[in-house]
Structure 1
Amino acid sequence: MNFAKLDKLKLVNTIVLGMISIFFLVPLIWMLSTSFKYESDVLVYPIEWIPTSINVVNNFKAVWMADIPFYLFYYNSIKLAGIMTLFTILISSMAAFSFSMLHFKGKNLVFFLMITLMIIPEQSTLVPRFILIRWLGLYNTHEALILMGMFSIYFTFLIRQYMISIEHDYMEAAKIDGANYFTIYWKIILPLCKPILATVGIIKFIWTWNDYQNPLIFLLDRKLYPITMGIQLFQDDYADNYAVIMMASVSAIIPLVLVFIILQKRVINGISLGGVKG
């Protein structure tokens, strides 16, 4: 009897969560549908979820082959997101390895001070960062964004919490075999951390790809703009053409979807593994 009630409760929860999921997917479905339409069909009521007239080719040309260099914004975003994601994984994992596997004087104090910095809003550091970047001569360059985004306290904390669950016997056995700390980190610990590294990679890539604030403040040259700034230019030039704007938006989210599809298996494995260890 109890099992029957649990099955019914599970069914109800599944239906409710499915309806909520559809509710959140409606804007995405509308964006995709609108990107295929003629502008005259965008605001038709009731909404045509499946367009009767397809204008996807012209919308595509307006985005990728018009005066606004959308392909250049795309390249800039891929460059920035890719480099910052790789550096973040490398630096944060090295810091996490030090805080979780090594023993040195003042380790807990340094870690505590680093964690306390998480309470400082990013916006409050804009002026000091702006002054520093100008002083370094990196203003209006991609290097400025990369320098500011290549380390993350949050991801260091996240990876460190995962590494704590790894048995220290691996490290001790490697030491007996004569391995140094870098070899232990690179060949033993990192392969065991693939799930959390994949999670960090996805989150960092998405955050960087969607970042609007830092490019707005630290970039002036339109040739250096990432996709977020590029879409803003489209909104200025195509303010009355929702179909073209939606085509640009659909094009902008494709890399995010691909990154998640490629790495989702490792992320799910990481969540499952964390649940088993907990």
Structure 2
Amino acid sequence: MLLPFIWMLLTSFKAGNEVMIMPPVWFPEKFHFENYKEAWEMAPFGRYLFNSITVTVLSTIGELITTILAAYAFSKMNFWGRDVLFAILLGTMMVPGEVLLIPNFVLLSDLGWIDQYEALIIPWTASVFAIFLLRQFFLSVPKDLSYAAKIDGCSDFRFLWTIMVPLAKPALFTIALLKAIGSWNAFLWPLIVTSSKEMRTLPVGLTAFSTEAGTVYELLMAASTMIILPMIILYIILQKYIIQGIAKAGIKG
């Protein structure tokens, strides 16, 4: 599993003539740290970084809000057709995302959102899996807690934000981290809905290293390392919350 990452890191320090040499060499004769500087200057990565951070933060916040509200409604509120609607919601997980690319693109084009932040953020502010995960956590909270809160005059909204959300911190950490990693690494959708350099995100910006003369692999590996490293560090630091969140959510029917 680690082998491709090790190869990427070592290749990022190689000279151009060492990248495609046969038989392959693992370690460069000299570590070319200037590859990182040259890779950063080859494209407007400052703008790409700003776009990636903006899209990741806003889509993660949006998903947390929609997930909390939907999960609470499906777990603690009684309304007509609740279970049927939830079954339909789960059924959408069986639809491949690629099938929805063209309809979603046409819809966003009609709205005039192509090559705008709205197209990069709004379609991804809800997740069926996140709703399912948090719903399972909310179901594990005893109903007696909500009954006691209502007796004391607590509304559903206040009960949700003052009691349920603090209790669900492990699950929320898991949802936020998985969403942040997925949004940061997203490539296909940003590639489709952006047409200008000013709106590209970091993964799409890597296409700048493909030229008519071929791909500059040592610079591509340097840029890829810079893009992947923040998410690796974030995952290593917060991986315990993923385990706790999934374990406490109790994935069950």
TM over 0.5: yes
RMSD after superposition:
2.3
1:60–1:247: 8 Å Cα contact kept in structure 2? yes
Query: 1:238 and 1:191, CA in 2 relative to 1: closer, same or farther beyond 3 A?
Result: farther
Find the aligned partners of 2:223 and 2:243 in 1 and give their Cα distance.
30
Find the aligned partners of 1:87 and 1:71 in 2 and give their Cα distance.
24
Query: 1:206 and 1:237, CA in 2 relative to 1: closer, same or farther beyond 3 A?
Result: farther
- In structure 2, the partner of 1:85 is 60
- In structure 2, the partner of 1:210 is 185
2:156 corresponds to which of 181, 198, 210? 181
* Letter in structure 2 aligned against 1:128: P
2:209 corresponds to which of 216, 234, 240? 234
Shift of the alpha carbon at 1:25? Answer: 0.8
Aligned pairs, number: 253
Find the aligned partners of 1:132 and 1:256 in 2 and give their Cα distance.
31
- In structure 1, the partner of 2:238 is 263
Q: 1:125-156, CA deviations, whole angstroms, 9 ceiling, x for partnerless residues? A: 22222222122121210111211111111211
1:238–1:244: 8 Å Cα contact kept in structure 2? no
1:238–1:245: 8 Å Cα contact kept in structure 2? no
* Letter in structure 1 aligned against 2:18: D
2:45–2:205: 8 Å Cα contact kept in structure 1? yes
Find the aligned partners of 2:110 and 2:247 in 1 and give their Cα distance.
46
1:158 corresponds to which of 114, 133, 137? 133
2:66–2:125: 8 Å Cα contact kept in structure 1? yes
Query: 1:181 and 1:237, CA in 2 relative to 1: closer, same or farther beyond 3 A?
Result: farther
Unpaired segments ≥5 residues, structure 1: 1-23
Query: 1:90 and 1:175, CA in 2 relative to 1: closer, same or farther beyond 3 A?
Result: same
1:135 corresponds to which of 110, 125, 141? 110
TM-score (norm 1): 0.83
Find the aligned partners of 1:271 and 1:154 in 2 and give their Cα distance.
12
2:190–2:201: 8 Å Cα contact kept in structure 1? yes
The answer as to 2:38 corresponding to 1:55 is no
1:36–1:243: 8 Å Cα contact kept in structure 2? yes
Percent identity over the alignment is: 36
Query: 1:203 and 1:153, CA in 2 relative to 1: closer, same or farther beyond 3 A?
Result: same
Shift of the alpha carbon at 1:95? Answer: 0.1
Unpaired segments ≥5 residues, structure 2: none
* Letter in structure 1 aligned against 2:76: M
- In structure 2, the partner of 1:3 is none
> What's the secondary structure of 1:36's corresponding residue?
coil
Shift of the alpha carbon at 1:245? Answer: 0.8
2:115–2:194: 8 Å Cα contact kept in structure 1? yes
Q: 1:86-111, CA deviations, whole angstroms, 9 ceiling, x for partnerless residues? A: 11111112100110111112111211
TM-score (norm 2): 0.91
> What's the secondary structure of 2:211's corresponding residue?
helix
Q: 1:150-175, CA deviations, whole angstroms, 9 ceiling, x for partnerless residues? A: 11112111211222112222222221
Find the aligned partners of 1:274 and 1:133 in 2 and give their Cα distance.
35
Find the aligned partners of 2:249 and 2:90 in 1 and give their Cα distance.
22
- In structure 1, the partner of 2:123 is 148
